[in-house]
Structures are given as structure tokens and as C-alpha cells.
A and B are shown apart, each in its own frame.
Chain A
Amino acid sequence: MTAITLRNVSKTYPGGVEAIKGVSLDIGDGEFLVLVGPSGCGKSTLLRMIAGLETITAGEISIGERVVNNLEPAERDIAMVFQNYALYPHMSVRQNLEYGLKNRRMARDEIARRVEKAAGILGIAELLARKPRQLSGGQRQRVAMGRAIVREPAAFLFDEPLSNLDAKLRVQMRAEIRHLQRSLGTTSVYVTHDQLEAMTLADRIVVLNGGVVEQVGTPMEVYERPASLFVASFIGSPAMNLVPLQQARERAAIAGLVNGSVPSGLSTDAVLGVRPEDMTVGENGAGADAVRFAFTVTAVEAVGAESYVHGNLQGGAGDIAVRMPGYHRLEPGTVLSAVTAPEKLHFFAGASGQRVDRAGAAQ
């Protein structure tokens, strides 16, 4: 049973960079938690603090029952998969897998049993005699995972393990990691800057920005109810449309916004958000309470099954993107209207960037 708990954890690097500013998290036993955020937000730092590779400036980290602040990495019963795999280049795959077990003075037959088992699970049994340089990127990735699995640790830590693979392999390995983690049931913390990876892998996502937690939630919660402007713009691809509300209303770029569909007491600098995939071009399926956006087409991005229409809101009130199923050719300059249902709208206070809900909206 391994839960990981972070209590007000902070990290200041020598030189004064405050990489982590008071993070608290409860990671459940067997949970797959994904830390996501833009480059430099402190994801690796936080993971390395859990691993014991960085000191903890303030706060407390516990793994299982133990506070691990002052424990060496080797004493924390965790295994880490590094972005560059960190395989020992002068050792064979088998030696790579055995290294941590031998250092722990495990019995020979137990080591052999674990290596065979891990090699079987990962399909690298034929590669055991090879050196890392004789492996493809995907195979190295598997060996790196193998090195973590043989340890049978209390928790796995992953730091962008897929970012060196090509797009297709990345999707495949993503599925494998997910499957593996489910079947082993080992608590895992996974760092990525790829929000798609976060959405598909996570039991829960932690969105990190500038060393602070913006939101913690299941992928669906984070997608459907982003807690802040930052999360709204970070999660979802293409990004959510964010429009200055007052300006759009004054310039008549938005129609159909009745008082009931807008939270009361919004400040004048409030921002309205709506996802491209929640909008439809034209009047198809528009309900009686539909909200309309008027815009001029500037470009069309066709990605095969669907197209993204980019445009300027009427009166220059902001940019907007709308998804259309199928392939479309629209001339720049075409004036269009897109509709959405009022419950698909998100509102954020301008100054703080915090989400503001409509009264009576479902929590």
C-alpha cells in the first residue's frame, strides 16, 4: 500500500530560483498521477524531489508511512524512468536490469526470475545480451522500463519518458505504459508537457504553472471545468477560445447572451472561453437559447477528418477557432456565424484568472 503525500513542499535552488512554491498533493495507492505544465514550470523538480535527487527546501514528502525528506534515493523504494533512459552504456541489457538488484544483494535465482519476468512482459527477452547502443529508441525505452519493473518498487516515477520517440511509437508506448501500470497496480507519478499524453494516461492530472498547482482533477474534470485561464488555455487541442467578454458584447460579436447564462457580478475585464469543438458553423442544431459568434474567416486548417476555421470576431473583438467536421474550403474574408449552447461557455475573472461559475450551474 503506497500512497505518496506532499505537504507544502517548496524548492529554492541555490542562486535563488524558486522552482516549487508550496505544493500539497495526495497521491493514492495505485494511482496514476500525471504532472503537466509548460516548460520550466517545475515538473521535473517536483518529481526529482520525490525521487530524492533534489533536496527539499521546505515541507514534507512521505512515501507510504515514512517521511522521506532525509532518505537517500536508494532508501525510498522507488524507481525512476529518465527522459534520456540513462541506460548504462557499457553494460548489456541484462546487466542493466540486474544492477540495482545486485547492489541490493538479492539472491541470484531471484534476480534471474525477476529479469526473465520483466523481459517477458516487455518483450525484450531476445535483447538481453545486447548493449544499449545496439537498440532502437523504442527498445531502449522498454529496457528503461524494465529496469524500473525488476525492482518491484513501491512507486514509479517517469520524467517525460516518451519525448524522444517518434509520434507513432509514442502513441503505442503510451498505451503500453498505461496497461502495464494498471496490471502492476503500482503508484506512479508521470511528468509530461504534452497535454494529450496527460489526458490519455492519467487517473488524475495536476496542472502546474510557475511552481504552483493550478488544478488537480480527473482528465474530464480538468477538460470540462478548467479552474483557471491558464488551465483553460493549456488543456485541449486546439486551445480554448478566450475572448474579452465586454469588448465582444459591445462590438456585437456575440449574440444571444442572456443574463441567466452569464455569472452575475463579473468584472469588466472578465474573459469568456469556449472550445472550438463545442461550436458549430451555421444554424444546425442550434437551440432556442443558442449563443452566436459572428466572425470573418482568416484561414482554414484541414487535418483530414475535420477542419479548423480560424477567424476574427466581428469588430476586431478577438480571434476565434471553430471545428467543422469533414473537409472545407472557405475563402478568407467569408463572414460566418457559429453557435454554441450556453452551458458550454466558461467564464474567468480577468485579474485573478480564476473560474467563475454561473449561479446554479452543476458543480
Chain B
Amino acid sequence: MRTKRVVFRSLWLPYLLIAPQIAITAIFFLWPAGQAIYQSFLRQDAFGLRTEFVGLENFARLVNDPLYLKSFTTTLVFSALVAGISMGVALLLAVMADRVLRSALFYRTLLIWPYAVAPAVAGVLWFFLFNPTIGIAAYFLARLGYEWNHYASGTDAMALIVIAAAWRQVSYNFLFFLAGLQAIPGSLTEAAAMDAAGPFKRFWTIQLPLLSPTVFFLLVVNLVYAFFDTFGIVHATTRGGPGNDTAILVFEVWRDAFEGLDLGFSAAQSVVLMAIVIALTAIQFRYIERRVEY
């Protein structure tokens, strides 16, 4: 792709034009990031009266903290489930919509709605649906013989936040999958049909391989989402419980800072998260730069 080059006569005008963007990045990202790194080397007492430089001690505590390590595993399970479920459902819907396409504008509008819902609202929505006493979903599960209780069962609680988080992401994934499927020329599937490949065979041997760049892109996006953007859902529903069964990393960061008042420890966790997101983004950029690989 070629981009148009604009030549500015004035030297400072281009800088002025990108200044707001730079300012926002600086205020809301660079400055807090710097603060987090700085804080991660410090220890404050619970009243914020004394601060001392402790080097890498906060990180050493992290590595040896069984709760933190458990949170890591929880996050990995959670993210894998969210990415897997939201992408799986989205792909299924996209394949069906692709079939009937020309009239799919309707589906597209319908399916983009969940994405417009804030994470906390999505959380609360599902929270009520699954509320053991008043939730309709919990009621139906009970009728089916399953006693749903995410206050007592760690599995139920995990299922709840996975559903709430995955649901919100389905619409986004759907749009990308649909666009990807639409970009595959119809004659390819027609040629495959003449080559005696049934619908399932066509999907596995033609459409899915051609969709692999989209799959990879969405995988990274969804992992980043599950890692970082799901705080609202956890906060609004399970608050990490029961026990620590749904305490994912972002939630731990918040809890250690605002409930545990252990700022240095929380900052060290943020730095680890930051490293993860940077790594994921870097992988993505590398891959996208190499373009579609088939």
C-alpha cells in the first residue's frame, strides 16, 4: 500500500498537529508506565509515610508468592477459554452468515451490539442472569438439575466471567472472520465443490487455512483483551472469588494496590503485565509485517 505524502511548508505545524495525540499518550500511558516502573523498585508502608528503595525485591516476592503464581495460572486458563470460546462462536456465526451473505447487514448490526457494551455492564448483565436466587439462567440450570452457585463454586465463578468476557468479544471477532471469509473468492469454494469436497472438507481444507492470518491476529487481540480488559467484568461480578479462584492478574494488581495498599508490589505486577502486552504486540507486528503466509 502506498500512502500519500504531504509536504508541510512550515516546520512546526506537523508537530503541532500530532501534539494532542502525543500529549494523550504521554499523560495516560507513558507517565503512568514510568510511574509503575519507578514504584516497582520502592516499598511504602501501609500509611504512605515512609518510602524506601528496595531494588528488585518486589519482583522477587512476586516469583515466590504462591497466590500470584496461582493468579497467573488462573489468567492463562481464563484467557485461553475466552479466546477459544469467543473465536469459536464467532467463526461459527461468520461461516453461517457468509453463506446467506448479501442480506447479512441485519446480522452485522445485531452482532456488533455486544461490543458496544462496557465490560462492567456486560459483567453485571451476566451476573444477574446467573444470580443463584433471582437469575433466569441459574433457574433454568437448576431445572436441568445443575445447582449453579458462583459464590461457592470456583468453576461456576470462572464459567461466569468467561461467558461474560467471551460474549462481549464475539461481535468483534465475528466482523473480522466475516470480512476474512468474504475475501476468499467464491470460485475457490466452487472449484473445491467440483473437486468433490463437501461443506466440512471445504471449510477445513480451503477456508480455514486461508483464514489463518485472521485467526492469528484475533488470537493476539483476544488474549490481550482477556489479560487486560476484563477487570471490569471481574470487579463487577466475582471480585476474584470464591477464594482466589477468579483472581486474574489485572484484578490482583488493583486489589494489591487499593485493598492491600501495597503499591510497590502492585507496581511490579503492572510491569510484568506491561511486558506481556509489549511481547504480544511485538509478535503481532512481526507477523503482520511478513504478510499472509501461504
Contact = CB atoms under 8 A, between A and B. Distances in A.
B194 A100 contact: yes
Interface in B186-219: 187-188, 190-197, 201, 205-206, 209-210
B294 A90 contact: yes
Q: Which of B193, B194, B209 has the most CB of A within 10 A?
A: B194
Q: Binding site of B, secondary structure by majority: helix, strand, loop or mixed?
A: helix
A157 to B, nearest CB: 9
Interface string A82-99: 111010111000000001
- Chain B: interface size category: 10 to 19
A103 B191 contact: no
B192 A82 contact: no
Contacts of B196: 74, 100, 103-104
A27 to B, nearest CB: 18
Interface in A130-180: 131, 147
B185 interface: yes
Given A82-B187, A99-B197, A90 B192 contact: no
B194 A74 contact: yes
A86 B193 CA distance: 12
Given A84-B187, A90-B294, A72 B193 contact: yes
Q: Which of A51, A73, A78 has the most CB of B within 10 A?
A: A73
Q: Which of B185, B193, B196, B294 has the most CB of A within 10 A?
A: B196
B210 A89 contact: yes
B193 A88 contact: no
A100 B294 contact: no
A331 B206 CA distance: 62
B197 A103 contact: yes
Contacts of B294: 89-90, 131
A53 interface: yes
A88 B197 CA distance: 13
Given A74-B193, A74-B194, A90-B294, A103 B201 contact: yes
Given A88-B206, A131-B294, 19 more contacts: A53-B194, A74-B196, A78-B194, A79-B194, A82-B191, A84-B185, A84-B187, A86-B190, A86-B191, A90-B209, A90-B210, A90-B294, A99-B192, A100-B194, A100-B195, A100-B196, A103-B196, A103-B197, A103-B201
